[in-house]
Structure 1
Amino acid sequence: MQLVIASGKGGVGKSTVTASLLYLLKDEYRFVAVDADADAPNLDLLLGVERWEEERELIGAKVARINTESCIRCGICQERCPYDCIKVIDGDYVVSELTCEGCNVCGLVCPVPGTITLEEVRSGVVRKTTTRYGFPLISAQLDVGRPNSGKLVTEEKEWAKKLMGELGLEHMIVDSAAGIGCQVIASIGGADLTILVAEPTPASLSDVQRAYKVVQHFRQPAYLIINKADLNPGFTALREWAEAEGIPILGEIPYDRAIPRSMSMLKPFVEAFPDSKAADAMREIAEKVREEILR
């Protein structure tokens, strides 16, 4: 089974929930974990990863290059660049790689053929390690200013599928990025189901509704975990929405200072503070995941 944990909104505790769920399931199931937030990966921090065993570069982005020897310095490329990424440095026209989108407008308007070309550059890196808990983790890091975060996630999942075949693993558990962009689409596409994590606030409700639409697009079942459930006791709209949509609620995790403390310790909160209220709630959620999803 390929299981995705998503949220729509950042900061609701999706990765901390994922890390603790992985910890609670590790002794009963053989799985590979995937951190599909290529812009800001953090699952490795929550699992205490210290080194990566293998890294692979993804070459896919394109940036413009200006040949200063054949450039006649007419300035047309700078005038037409839609991203304002061409600057004059010491009399030469130079492309800023951090802001170039590889659209090739500059190459099309340049009056000297062959002066401006598009070159492929690295988009980021995909990496693998075995966590101290015994299960493999695949993560990615997008380079600054580069596109193709969705491609990085796709590469992660392909690597994870290969590992599943090689190691005889049963499941892939994917920690998705926030939002509904290409990373999230790449995460949810091809999965069997999605667990949504939200907090009882209007902003989180709005964003989890958007994420749920992506899940619906792929015709997947969805479940909901309410994190920081007692943070806003008068807000009932999140539960009402889930009930109206027929989304089962796996459980509610109370606000607990043990969670940020465990993050500073680089451990899942169920390991760092097993007697905390949040850990009790998380164990109940893990039991429901076993009974209703991974049975």
Structure 2
Amino acid sequence: MQVVIASGKGGVGKSTITASLIYLLKDKYKLIVVDADADAPNLHLLFGVEKWEEQKELVGAKVARINQETCIRCGICAERCPYDSIKFVNGSYVVNVLTCEGCGVCKLVCPVQNTITLEEVRSGIVRKTITNYGFPLISAQLDVGRPNSGKLVTEEKGWAKKIVEKQNLEHMIVDSAAGIGCQVIASVGGADVAILIAEPTPASLSDLKRVYKVVQHFRIPAYLIINKADINLGFKGIHEFAEREGMPILGEIPYDRAIPDSMVQMKPVVEAFPDSKASKALKEIAKTVEEEILR
């Protein structure tokens, strides 16, 4: 089974909850974990990963290059660039490769043939390791200014599927990026079930609705976990939305200083502080996940 954990909004504790659920389930199931946030991967930090056993480069992005020998300095490319990525510097027009999207407008409008070309560059890396806890973890890192984060996630999941088949593993846990962008779509696509994380605030509710629509588009059953459940007791919007949509609530986690303290130790909170309020709630949620999802 492929389980994706998503939030629609950053900062709600998605990765910390994911790490704890994985820790609680790792001895009962043969798992593989995918950190599908290529922009800002952090799941490996919560498992104390310091080195990667294997990595692959993804080449696919394009950036413009200007041949200074044939450039006539007309400036049309700079005028037409929709991303303002071409500047006149020290007597020459140069491309800022960090902001260039490789759209090809500059090449199209250049009056001198073959002066501007589009060259492929690396989008990022996909990497794998075996954690100290015994399960494989696949992560990715998008290069600065590069597109194709969704392709990186697809590459991650493809690699994970091969390992699942080769090692006869049971479940793939995918920790999605926040929001509803291409990374999230790549994470949700092909999943069997989605666990959504929210906190009791209007902003979180708004983004929960958006990511729920993405999950609905793929016709995937959705479950909900409410984190920091006691920070805004008067706000009932999350519960009302879940009830209206028929989305089961797997559990609620109270705000607990043990969670940031466990992050400093580079450990899941259920390992670092097993008797904390958050850990007790997470243990109950893990039991429900076993009964309702992984059964």
Write the mapping of 1:139-288 to structure 2, written as runs, cut at 5 A: 139-288=139-288
TM-score by length of 1: 0.99
Find the aligned partners of 2:56 and 2:155 in 1 and give their Cα distance: 10
- Report SS of the residue matched to 1:239: helix
Write the mapping of 1:81-160 to structure 2, written as runs, cut at 5 A: 81-160=81-160
Find the aligned partners of 2:205 and 2:107 in 1 and give their Cα distance: 45
Q: CA deviation at 1:90?
A: 1.9
Find the aligned partners of 2:234 and 2:47 in 1 and give their Cα distance: 34
Q: Which runs of 5+ in 2 are unaligned?
A: none
Deviation per CA, 1:197-240: give whole Å up to 9, x if none.
00000000110110000000000100000000011011111011
Find the aligned partners of 2:83 and 2:202 in 1 and give their Cα distance: 35
- Report SS of the residue matched to 1:213: helix
TM-score by length of 2: 0.99
- Report SS of the residue matched to 2:33: strand
Q: CA deviation at 1:131?
A: 0.5
Q: CA deviation at 1:21?
A: 0.3
The equivalent of 1:65 in structure 2 is 65
Aligned AA (1:65): R
Find the aligned partners of 1:232 and 1:90 in 2 and give their Cα distance: 56
Tell me whether 85-94 or 8-17 shows the greater mean CA deviation: 85-94
Find the aligned partners of 2:208 and 2:45 in 1 and give their Cα distance: 25
- Report SS of the residue matched to 1:38: coil
Q: How many residues align?
A: 295
Q: CA deviation at 1:31?
A: 1.1
Q: CA deviation at 1:67?
A: 0.3
Structure 1 runs of 4+ with >3 Å offset: none
- Report SS of the residue matched to 2:32: strand
The equivalent of 1:23 in structure 2 is 23
CA RMSD of aligned residues (A): 0.5
Aligned AA (2:286): A
Deviation per CA, 1:124-161: give whole Å up to 9, x if none.
00000001100000000000000000000000000000
Q: Which runs of 5+ in 1 are unaligned?
A: none
- Report SS of the residue matched to 2:94: strand
Identity %: 77
Find the aligned partners of 2:291 and 2:139 in 1 and give their Cα distance: 28
Q: CA deviation at 1:29?
A: 0.3
Q: CA deviation at 1:84?
A: 0.7
Deviation per CA, 1:95-140: give whole Å up to 9, x if none.
1100101011110111110000000000000000001100000000
Find the aligned partners of 2:115 and 2:195 in 1 and give their Cα distance: 51
The equivalent of 1:54 in structure 2 is 54
Find the aligned partners of 2:127 and 2:266 in 1 and give their Cα distance: 19
The equivalent of 1:76 in structure 2 is 76
Aligned AA (2:291): E
Find the aligned partners of 1:82 and 1:237 in 2 and give their Cα distance: 41
Find the aligned partners of 1:29 and 1:20 in 2 and give their Cα distance: 14
Aligned AA (1:129): T
Aligned AA (1:203): A
